[in-house]
Structure formats: C-alpha cells, structure tokens
C-alpha cells in the first residue's frame, strides 16, 4: 500500500520566527492507508511542523505538494477543505454536550419542516451510532454526554468525526500522551481502523513504543530537522529513542531504561 503516490508531501520545509529557526529543513510525506509516525522530543519542532502542515503557519522556505500539485494554504480552513484534518490534544469537544451534538458541531444536518429548517436529529443520531459502532464504542444512549467517555474514547470520537467529514490526511497531535495503557490501546486500534479505510494518518508522539505498535514508517525530528525515515522492521525502540535525543547521551540512559519501558 505504501507504493501509492503520496497524498501530501512536504519538501525541505523551513520556518523562521524572526531570528528563531523553528524548522531547518523538514521532509515528510504521507501515503493513503499508512500510518506515518513523526517522533520528536519536546522542542524538536513538532508543533510548528503540525501547524505548517495544517495551514496555520506558512513555511518560510520549501514546498508542499498535495496530491502531486504544489499548494499554499492560506488558512487552516483551506487545509481542512482539501482534506487535511488535525485532531489537537484538546480535541475541540465539549464535555457537557452529547456525543451526537459534539460530532456534528458546526456541520449539523438540517431538514425542512414547513418554512423552518430544523436540526435533523434522527439522521444525526443514526450516523453517530453507526460511526461509533465501527470504532468500537458502544454508546449507552444517543444523548450520552462526551464527559462520560474515557479519554481514549473521546480521542476516538474526535478521530471518527474528522474521518467522517472527509479527511484524507489525519494529523494526530500526541493522541496517547495523557492516556493509560488500556486507553492507549483503544486509540491505537482506532488508528488501525482509520488506516484500513485508506486515510493517511500522521501520528505525532514522543513515545517510540506507541509509534512502533501501529506505525508503517517512522520519521524522527530533532532540533528542527528530519533525521531520515525508516520503514517498519528497519528500526528498534532504542534506535528511535537515540535519534530523538539527538545521539550519544541518551544511548547510555536507554540501556538503563530498557527494562522499565
């Protein structure tokens, strides 16, 4: 599947904020139906890179190819309309509102009722029930509040929402960082399901173990540069961690940490 041409390709991206060079040459691509993990320690430039990919920042140098054509996003909305969806850490979900209301928020389906346009609740609830079932979440009732879901389930609802509304590329910003073991496996299973539908998943994380559990390819970002891309099976946890740490000093530590991880 990874022989298909990339949906989104970023070549030699640089981003400068005044004198600060946040990205100093990043190359990254994502193909349909694969999970490409972007690993990096805090401060490596992950956030800047995500924001560049999702249209929040414009790159200072380098080019972005979307389905083979050069593209310049002028706003996050452009990127969203092209099919690049980002699920940020805060998820953009409202705990007090039902799963259905959250899922459709901003894009509510409507039906005509005489001169009025009403929220098409039956349709909305049916779609959500169906989507949730596919993602392995059994809702107790259609108006169950998002606040009653676990962290992993919330993440899954946010992912399902992005995919349902036509995401071709799904950028997940640290989706497992705040989760426990079981919740993490739930999210990883969701990533697997989404990939199976042909969506290209960009999985951003600093946890090499989570990345290896689900990723097809791995790119490490360090001090604003990509240090090359490895395929599944070509790289070990230790190697990934060394690359993230930027070489030597972590190698000794990881020998200590190996057992603990």
Partner 1 sequence: MSAPIAAAKIDDERLKQVSWLRQALVRPELGAICGAILVFVFFLMVAGDSGMFAPQGIRNWTLVSAQFAILAAGACLLMIAGEFDLSVGSMIGFAGVVIAILSVQWGWPVWAAILSAFAVCLFIGAVNGFLVIRTGLPSFIVTLAFLYILRGLTIWLSVATTRQTIIGGVGQAAEGDWLAPVFGGIAFRGLFQWMGDQGWIATFTRGARMGQPVVEGIPALVFWALGLILFAHVLLTRTRFGNWIFASGGDAEAARKVGVPVSRVKILMFMFSAFCACVFAACQVMEFGSAAADRGLLKEFEAIICVVIGGALLTGGYGSVIGAALGALIFGVVQQGLFFANAESSLFRVFLGVILLMAVIMNTIIRRMITGER
Longest Cα pair distance anywhere in the chain, in angstroms? 72
Given 104, 167, 201, 217, the residue binding partner 1 (CB under 8 A): 104
Residues in the chain: 261
- Give yes or no for residue 56 binding partner 1 (CB under 8 A): no
3-state secondary structure 74-112: CCHHHHHHHCEEEECCCCCCCCCCEHHHHHHCCCCCEEE
Over the window 179 to 218, marking each residue x when it contacts partner 1 by CB under 8 A and - when it does not, the resulting string is ---x--xx-xx--x--------------------xx----
Which CB sits closer to partner 1, 215 or 224?
Answer: 215
Please say which residue, 42 or 141, places its beta carbon nearer to partner 1: 141
For residues 22 and 188, which CB has a smaller minimum distance to partner 1 in the complex? 188
What SS3 state is found at 19? coil
The residue within the footprint of partner 1, chosen from 3, 90, 249, 252 (CB under 8 A), is 90
Residue 232 has a CB neighbour count (10 Å cut-off) of: 15
Q: Nearest distance from residue 186's CB to partner 1, in Å? A: 4
Residues 10 to 39 in contact with partner 1, rule: CB under 8 A: none
Which residue in the set 4, 61, 70, 92 belongs to the binding site for partner 1 (CB under 8 A)? Answer: 92
What x/- string results for residues 105 through 144 when contact with partner 1 is judged by CB under 8 A?
xxxx-x-----xxxx-x--------------x-x-xx---
Contact 8, 30 (CB under 8 A): yes
By CB under 8 A, name the one of 65, 67, 71, 88 that touches partner 1: 88
Distances from the Cα of 35 to the Cα of 9, 239, 256, angstroms: 14, 19, 30
Which residue lies nearer to partner 1 by CB, 211 or 243? 211
| Range list of β-strands (E), the chain | 8-17, 20-30, 35-40, 61-66, 69-70, 84-87, 110-113, 116-119, 169-173, 200-205, 217-222, 225-231
Binding segment (CB under 8 A) for partner 1, from list 126-134, 149-157, 226-234, 240-248: 149-157
SS3 147: helix
Residue (of 216, 207, 200) closest to 177 by Cα position: 207
The answer to whether residue 75 forms part of the interface with partner 1 (CB under 8 A) is no
Any idea what the Cα angle at residue 200 is, between residues 196 and 205, rounded to 5°?
A: 105
Contacts with partner 1, residue ranges (CB under 8 A): 77, 88, 90-97, 101, 104-108, 110, 116-119, 121, 136, 138, 140-141, 145, 147-148, 150, 152-153, 182, 185-186, 188-189, 192, 213-214
């Amino acid at each position: 599947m990874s022989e298909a041409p990339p949906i989104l390709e970023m070549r030699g991206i640089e981003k400068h904020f005044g004198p600060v060079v946040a990205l100093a040459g990043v190359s990254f691509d994502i193909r349909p139906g694969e999970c490409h993990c972007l690993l990096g320690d805090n401060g490596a430039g992950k956030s800047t890179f995500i924001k560049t990919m999702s249209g929040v920042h414009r790159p200072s140098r380098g080019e972005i190819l979307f389905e083979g054509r050069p593209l310049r996003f002028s706003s996050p909305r452009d990127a969203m309309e092209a099919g690049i969806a980002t699920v940020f850490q805060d998820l953009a979900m409202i705990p007090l509102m039902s799963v259905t209301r959250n899922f459709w928020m901003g894009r509510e389906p409507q039906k005509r009722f005489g001169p009025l346009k009403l929220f098409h609740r039956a349709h909305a609830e049916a779609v959500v029930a169906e989507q949730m079932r596919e993602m392995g979440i059994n809702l107790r009732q259609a108006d169950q509040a998002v606040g009653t879901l676990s962290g992993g389930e919330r993440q899954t609802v946010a992912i399902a929402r992005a995919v349902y509304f036509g995401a071709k590329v799904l950028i997940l910003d640290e989706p497992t960082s705040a989760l426990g073991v079981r919740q993490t496996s739930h999210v990883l299973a969701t990533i697997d399901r989404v990939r199976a539908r042909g969506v290209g998943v960009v999985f951003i994380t600093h946890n090499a173990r989570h990345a290896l559990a689900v990723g097809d390819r791995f790119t490490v970002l360090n001090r604003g540069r990509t240090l090359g891309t490895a395929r599944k099976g070509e790289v070990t946890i230790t190697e990934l961690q060394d690359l993230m740490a930027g070489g030597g000093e972590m190698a000794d530590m990881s020998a200590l940490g190996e057992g603990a991880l």
